[in-house]
Structure 1
Amino acid sequence: MTASIIATGETPYTRHPPAATTTPQVIAEAVRRALSDAGLTPQDVDGFAVSSFTLEPDHAVDLAWRMGFELSWLMQDTNGGASAGGMLQHAIHAIEAGDASTVVVAAGDLMDRNAFSSLVARYNRATEQHLSPLPLSGPNALFAMLTSRQMRALGLERSDYGKIAVAQRRWAAKNPGAVYRDPMSLDDYLTAPMVADPLGRFDCVPPVTGADAVVVAADERVAGRRRARVLAVTASYNSDNQTGDGLQTGLQACAPPAWDRAGISPEEAGVIGVYDDYPAMVIAQLMDMGFITAGADVPKFIDSSIFTGKLALNTSGGQLSAGQAGSAGGMHGLVEVANQLLRQAGDRQTDARFGVVSGYGMVLYRYGACANMAILESVA
């Protein structure tokens, strides 16, 4: 591929946004920060992609106009946790085709109590007609069943999932943008109120308001500057036709071609960002991408690699500690891995040369129908 991420921007996440806050405001602020990081102006941008659950009644073109963009390429994505990878994939293709040379990719949402309640009640037709009437307030019950199934299949205990949440909280302590930064012990995790057995409070992402953005540019335009070159982006949709048990994701189909195109192996990835709406999905994605090999002792892997911090996983704190800003949850991992490779991650900076990001989401009747994977390389 012939394009790179050259800059990132994030509107600070908050659990309680001011009353006048709007979705276009938070997205525009993230875009402004990304352009400032890149040293660019709106006039330098000729491509724009956005994902949001709460942008209506506006659309991508309305937002682009309000931000001063005159474009030759535009897209609007609706795929939530898989939105970042999908938009990045399309942006790269647009640049390679000559349709654009500098693309801003952004996502964000206003997620106050009313917006969140409306989203989980009318997420899609399956939710509105079949889950909400039960009633099920969001996907917690579905993923509680998946977590129980994974526990039995892999010999996991609640404490194993707790080690993932605690490890990510340690990373969050080094991230000024994380909503939850206070220390959390394994005992804090285990004694937290139960939400949907076996899921407790710290297994479930906190909804927040915020936005994220990256600037993607043709390599020929950014030679000589630090960048995160995109080596591969792969995607899979409806991989199990909504008949699977949720223990495997579409990343099983994404991973082999991604590693092949990038020319590296999982062992070479120095920083990893996975979509962490629940700890069980962290494990599922790590297995599907090959970080946890078939037949491995998964509790031992969690203890020796994730809990110790040896594996640089979700170094922002992930959504479990930083928060899930609606559709921006899909961008959160991409922004963090890009920050690591751009050498602008502050106190949590690693020395990674290669980074991997996975996207996952869009619950239909069962589990996530969308998955994607991106592999990036730090280039000076």
Structure 2
Amino acid sequence: MSSRLLPRDIGILGYGSTQYVKKTQKPLITELAEAGRAALASAGLKKSDIDGIAIGAFELPPDNTVTTAEQLGLSPSWAYLTTGGGAGPVASVIQAIRAIEAGQATTVLCVAGDVYDVDGLFKLLDNFGDALTSYGTPHGFGGANGLFGIVQRKHMETYGTRREDLGRISVDQRANARANPAALLRGPMTIDDYLNARMIADPIRLFDCVLPCAGAEAVIVGALDRAPAGKGVRVLSGYEQHNHPAGEISPLRGGWELFRDRLYDDAGLGPKDMQFVQAYDDYPIMAAIQIEDLGFCEKGEVGPFLGANTMTFDGSFPLNTGGGQLSCGQCGAGGGMIGLTEAVRQLRHEGEGRQVPNATRGLVSGYGMIGYGHGLSTSSVILERAS
């Protein structure tokens, strides 16, 4: 696919999140509405300003984007339902910008979330798609832990990656989460805590896994001249890629490697120019693979890279500055947007106790949609403080 620059006058005007909880009696529509309402307040806009909507939610069917718009009292001229799992929310922002550029909408609410717990997650994964329903579950598919345990073991044996290296991600992100009152897991964690945690699916242990929860995240996309003074966030570049590498079981790479060069070229920047990274972190190994595939280190060198850097918000390589899903929790499809809202928070300099000093640009990466033996979808955007 050839590069086509995103328009520089359209970007993110505001963001919003709900409080994450382990269990809730709230319906999904309430979580989506609360995140959307917070994003509107952040953007200084009214509900009547919204004429486009994009939704990411595994639990939405049999409803869809249009029926949700009905429940929210919106009358959109553009509606989009994400298809890429945890990569879908980031991709929805790219699609929203294109829709505004084409004149299909002026102001788009991009929202993602779900309302499930651990049991709900297991039920979801058993019926995630025909490949798992027909060929995974009947043969003892134990969910994502087993799948990514294989990926992690393969990476360790292929490149010599150590659990101590991957543990740096969990430990430093927990340090970030301690400055985030919205994170569900804020207790202290040491590398020994990580290494000695309960085994889940060898070599995956407890602190390699996300906590399923309920919640939602949202951003508002529109013309940057409508953003509150000094608060607009420009999307310099963005791409998505699905089912790469095609047919490979338990791959140690993803679609990021296909669009990485275009992503940086379009932005006129490189990996060293990123002041933070918000990477989809369903497991530390997948955050590590994104670090490699997005060019922050060579393939197979992520172990030494992690050992040489600190991933805290004030460290040498700020990663998932709010704690990421590993410490905040994973609210289903909303896990694909938590990095985006955190990035916008950082670029608006609203990070409070976890603010990256003088942050002006960063990268957000999405990943998701488990297929037969591998995740199918990837996405990334590079963002910049518009002022």
TM-score range, shorter chain: over 0.9
Q: After the TM superposition, which of the residue ranges 269-278 and 57-66 deviates more from structure 2?
A: 57-66
Cα-to-partner distance string for 1:320-347 (whole Å, 9 max, x where unaligned): 1111100111111111111111111111
CA contact (8 A) 2:23 2:214 kept: yes
Partners in 1 of 2:211 and 2:246 — Cα distance? 29
Q: In the alignment, what sits opposite 2:4? A: none
**1:335 and 2:335 are equivalent in the alignment:** no
Q: Secondary structure at the match of 2:19?
A: strand
Shift of the alpha carbon at 1:365?
A: 0.8
CA contact (8 A) 1:80 1:328 kept: no
Shift of the alpha carbon at 1:223?
A: 8.0
Q: Which amino acid aligns with 1:127?
A: L
Partners in 2 of 1:114 and 1:158 — Cα distance? 28
Partners in 2 of 1:352 and 1:326 — Cα distance? 28
5+ long unaligned stretches in structure 1: none
Q: Secondary structure at the match of 1:35?
A: helix
**1:379 and 2:383 are equivalent in the alignment:** no
Is the alpha carbon distance of 1:98 and 1:179 closer, same or farther for their aligned partners in structure 2, counting shifts above 3 Å? same
Partners in 2 of 1:282 and 1:229 — Cα distance? 24
Partners in 2 of 1:192 and 1:74 — Cα distance? 44
CA contact (8 A) 1:8 1:214 kept: yes
CA contact (8 A) 2:91 2:240 kept: yes
Q: In the alignment, what sits opposite 1:300? A: 304
Map 1:121-140 onto structure 2 (within 5 A): 121-140=126-145
Partners in 1 of 2:251 and 2:199 — Cα distance? 22
Map 1:1-380 onto structure 2 (within 5 A): 1=7, 2-17=9-24, 20-222=25-227, 224-243=229-248, 245-294=250-299, 296=301, 298-307=302-311, 309-350=315-356, 351-380=358-387
**Aligned-residue CA RMSD in angstroms?**
1.5
Shift of the alpha carbon at 1:268?
A: 0.6
Shift of the alpha carbon at 1:158?
A: 1.4
Q: After the TM superposition, which of the residue ranges 224-233 and 328-337 deviates more from structure 2?
A: 224-233
Q: After the TM superposition, which of the residue ranges 257-266 and 65-74 deviates more from structure 2?
A: 65-74
Cα-to-partner distance string for 1:331-374 (whole Å, 9 max, x where unaligned): 11111111111111111111221110111111111111111110
Cα-to-partner distance string for 1:30-60 (whole Å, 9 max, x where unaligned): 0011111111111011111001011223221
Shift of the alpha carbon at 1:307?
A: 5.0
TM-score (norm 2): 0.94
Partners in 1 of 2:62 and 2:370 — Cα distance? 23
Cα-to-partner distance string for 1:288-340 (whole Å, 9 max, x where unaligned): 110113574x3331122135632111001011111110011111111111111
Partners in 2 of 1:259 and 1:307 — Cα distance? 22
Percent identical among aligned pairs is 39
Shift of the alpha carbon at 1:198?
A: 0.3
Partners in 2 of 1:55 and 1:88 — Cα distance? 19
CA contact (8 A) 1:362 1:369 kept: yes
Cα-to-partner distance string for 1:50-82 (whole Å, 9 max, x where unaligned): 010112232211211222212111111132111
Aligned residues, how many? 377
Is the alpha carbon distance of 1:317 and 1:335 closer, same or farther for their aligned partners in structure 2, counting shifts above 3 Å? same
